[in-house]
Amino acid sequence: MTNQTANNYEKYVPIQPIAITDRKWPTKTLTKAPLWCSVDLRDGNQALVIPMNLQEKLDMFKLLVDIGFKEIEIGFPSASDTEYKILRTLIEQNHIPDDVTVQVLVQARKHLIEKTFESVKGAKNAIIHFYNSTSTLQRKVVFKKDMQGIIDIAVEGAKLIRTLADQAIKDGTNIRFEYSPESFTGTEIDFAIEICAKVMAEIGATPDNKIILNLPATVEMSSPNIYADQIEYFCKNLPNRHCAIISIHPHNDRGTAVAAAELAMLAGAERVEGTLFGNGERTGNVDLLTIALNMFTQAIDPKLNLHDMNRIKGIYEHCTKMVVHERHPYAGELVFTAFSGSHQDAISKGFDYMKDSKSTLWEVPYLPIDPSDLGREYEPIIRINSQSGKGGAAFVLQTYFGYQLPKGMHPEFGNFVKTVSDQKGDELSKEEIFDIFEQQYVYANAPYALKKHKIFEETADSDENIVHFEGVVSVDGVDQNVHGTGNGPIDAFFHAISGIGVKDYSFVSYDEHALSSGSDSKAIAYIKLQTPQGGNVFGVGVSANINIASIRGILSAINRSLKNE
C-alpha cells in the first residue's frame, strides 16, 4: 500500500542555526548550581486537566519551600480570581518565608499590570515577570505587527511597571523585574537582543539592581546545541550584560529540555525556570529535579534538598493528580531496578567492592547515584524475572533475608528461580524467591532426616579430641539408630550414617554465618559434597547450633543428590 504521507516532512521549516564560529560553551564544564525558579504553581498548574485547588496549592508551595526553592512563580494573578486568591492567601497568612521570593506573571498590558501589583501588596519580596511574544510567526499570524510595534508593547509595559514599582517599594515590598521575549527560540536573535536592551533601559537595570532576562524555549524548536548557540550569542552581544541575570525556561517539545538547559548553562545562563518532574504544557517543562541530580552525580551541590524523593513524588502526585512514570530519571519506581542478569551481577559485585574496599566514593556499575541519597535504600535494586541472571536471586536473599550464598551456589539457585519465573510468566517477589530457596534446600529432608542427636567429646592421652555422634535418623519414615566417631562433629556424623548405607560422599566445602545477632541467633551452613558418581551437590542447614546446622546441611545435600539421580 502506498504511503500517502511519505513526503509530508517537506512542509516543515527547519530552524536556521546562528552563524557563530567562536562558540565557547562546548569546552566549558558546569561547576555550580544555577539560580532555581519553580513554576509548578503557574506553568505546571495551568497544564493540569484538573487545576490544583487552594489547599493543594498550599501543599505544593510548602513542598517547594522544603526542597529549597528561593524563587517560586505563584501564578497569573491578573488572569483569574483563583490565581489572585492563592497569592493573597500566601501573603496574608504568612506562608512565605523571608528568604523566599514570590514571582507573578503578567502580559505587558496596562490593566493586567495594575491588578498584578495589587496582588503582591504586603509581600516582602516579589518578582514582576512581564512578557510579550516576539517570534516571527506570532508577529505574522497573531499580532500582525512589525518589530517596532512589538518593541512598543514591551517598552510601554516596562515603563508602567517601573512607575508602579516605585510605590510598591515605598510600601515595603522589595520588587525585582523579569522580562521574557516569549517564543525566544522562534525570534530573530538580533531582534531579541534589541527588545531586551530597550526593556533594560526603560526599567533602569543596574549592576546592583539587575533585571532577569528570561529566554524561553516556549516551543522547543531545535536541537540543544542550537539553543546553546542562541544563549551564548545573546550573552555576548547584549549591551550592559552586567546589568542582567540571564534566565532560561526550556520546554520539552523535542524531548531534550534537560540537555538544552545544561548546554544553555554552559553558554552563559545563570538561572533556570522549570517544574518538578517536568510537568507543563504539551510535552512539559524542563525537569528541575533531573538537572539538579545530574549535577549531584558530578559532585556539584545542587542547593536543593532531594533526600526524600518518595515524599516529593507523593505530594506531587497528590496535588497534581499526575503520575510519575516508572522510568522517570531518579524518581521512577524502576529506575534503580535491574532485571537483566549481567546488570544484576555487576551491581552485586559493585556493592561487594564498596564493602570490601571501604571506599568513600560511589562505584557501583549501572547505578549513577546511590539510591539511599534519595531516601530509597529500602526499595528493591534487583528484581527477578525470567531475564534475571545467576546472581540476582542470591542478591535478593542476601539483601532482604541475610542469606549469603557461596558463589558456587549462585548458578544452581538462579536456574531454579528462572524456571519458576518462566512458568509463572511474571516477576517473582522476594518472598517467592525465599520460598524457592527453602523448598529446594532447607526442606530437602527425605529420604534422610535427623530426629535425635547427641554430640560429645573425649580427649585421648595424645591430647587429640575424639568426637562421638549418637542419634536417630529417619530413613523413608523409619527411625534408625546411628553412631560414629571422628576428629570433629562432621567427620563423626559421616561415620555414623555409613552404618545405614550412606557411603562414598566426600566433603568439598563449607560456609556458614549467623542469620542475626544476639544470644538466640540461628546459624546457616552451606555444604558442598561430592557424590558417589563424582558430581557436586549443595545442601543447606539451619539451626541455633552450628554443628547441627552443618549436619542438616549434609543431609540436605545427600537428599538432593538422590532426588536428582
Q: Is domain 32-320 given the CATH code 3.20.20.70 in the classification?
A: yes
* Record: fold of 448-563: Double Stranded RNA Binding Domain (3.30.160)
User: Which three cell numbers mark 141?
Assistant: 499570524
Q: How far apart are CA 388 and CA 371, in angstroms?
A: 21
CB 515 within 8 A of CB 549: no
Cβ–Cβ < 8 Å for 74, 96: no
Top-tier CATH class for 341-436: mainly alpha
C-alpha cell at 527: 555444604
CB 343 within 8 A of CB 364: no
CA nearest neighbour of 115 among 154, 81, 91: 81
Contact 368, 402 (CB under 8 A): no
Where do the domains of the chain lie? 32-320, 341-436, 448-563
Q: Has residue 353 got a pLDDT over 60?
A: yes
End-to-end CA, the chain = 60
Q: Give the pLDDT of residue 138.
A: 74
DSSP 3-state of 95:
coil
- Does the bond joining 17 to the residue before it have cis omega, within 30 degrees of 0? no
Predicted confidence band of residue 3 (pLDDT cuts 50, 70, 90):
low
Cα-based distances in Å from 266 to 19, 25, 128: 18, 5, 27
Classify 34 as helix, strand or coil.
coil
CA distance 495 to 63: 69
| Grid cell digits, residue 224 | 540543544
Q: Per DSSP, what are the bridge partners of residue 129? A: 105, 178
Q: What is the pLDDT of residue 377?
A: 66
More confident call, 157 vs 138: 157
Lowest-pLDDT choice from 56-65, 246-255, 358-367: 358-367
Residue closest to 72 by CA, chosen among 47, 122, 32, 36 = 36
CA distances from 100 to 123, 247, 406, 507 (A): 10, 18, 55, 70
Q: How confident is the model at residue 460 (pLDDT cuts 50, 70, 90)?
A: low
What is the mean predicted confidence (pLDDT) over 384-407? 80
Radius of gyration of the chain (CA): 35
pLDDT tens-digit map of 219-248: 999 999 999 999 999 999 999 999 999 999
For residue range 248-307, list pLDDT tens digits in order.
Answer: 999 999 999 999 999 999 999 999 999 999 999 899 999 999 999 999 999 999 999 999
Is a pLDDT exceeding 90 seen at residue 179? yes
Whether the CA torsion 119, 121, 124, 128 is positive or negative: it is positive
Look up cell 512542509; give the residue.
11
User: For residues 223 and 172, is the Cβ–Cβ distance under 8 A?
Assistant: no
For residue 187, report the phi and psi dihedrals to the nearest 5 degrees: -105, 140
For the residues of 192-239, what is the DSSP string, one character each? HHHHHHHHHHHHT-BTTBPEEEEEEESS--S-HHHHHHHHHHHHHH-T
Mean pLDDT for the stretch of residues 304-332: 96
Distances from the Cα of 144 to the Cα of 57, 196, 198, 398, angstroms: 37, 20, 21, 69
Element (H, E) at 390: helix 390-401
What is the pTM for the complete model shown? Answer: 0.79
The mean pLDDT of 432-458, rounded to a whole number, is 92
When pLDDT is averaged across residues 19-37 and rounded to a whole number, the result is 95
> Helices 81-92 and 110-119 sit at what angle, rounded to 10 degrees?
30
**507: β partners:** 529
Alpha helices by DSSP H, 238-278: 257-266
pLDDT at 139: 78
Chain mean pLDDT for the chain: 91
Q: Are 382 and 433 in contact (CB under 8 A)?
A: no
Nearest in space to 479 (alpha carbons), one of 448, 444, 501: 448
Give me the torsion for CA of 113, 215, 255, 105, rounded to 10°. Answer: -10
- DSSP classification of residue 154: H
Inter-CA distances, 442 with 386, 415, 551, 565, Å = 23, 17, 12, 19
Long-range Cβ pairs for the range 401-410 (8 Å, 24+)? 401/430, 401/434, 402/515, 402/516, 403/437, 403/515, 403/524, 404/511, 404/513, 405/526, 406/509, 406/511, 406/526, 406/528, 408/509, 408/528, 408/536, 408/538, 409/526, 409/538
- Whether pLDDT at 178 is above 90: yes
| Cell representation of residue 495 | 561415620
Give pLDDT, residue 379. 54
Q: Helix/strand/coil (H, E, C) string of 290-348?
A: HHHHHHHCCCCCCCCCCCCHHHHHHHHHHHHCCCCCCCCCCCCCCCCCECCHHHHHHHH
pLDDT at residue 418, as a whole number: 86
* Percent of the chain clearing pLDDT 70 (strictly above): 94
pLDDT (average), residues 100-105:
97
Residues 6 or more apart in contact with residue 449 via CB below 8 angstroms:
473, 474, 555
Alpha carbons within 13 A on the beta-carbon side of 78: 20
In the numeric block, the cell 516551543 is attached to 219
More confident residue, 485 or 135: 485
C-alpha cell belonging to residue 32: 555550580
* 3-class SS of residue 513: strand
Q: Given a cut of 70, is residue 378 above it in pLDDT?
A: no
Q: Strands, E, within 439-522: which ranges?
A: 448-459, 465-475, 478-486, 506-514
| pLDDT band (50, 70, 90) for residue 11 | confident
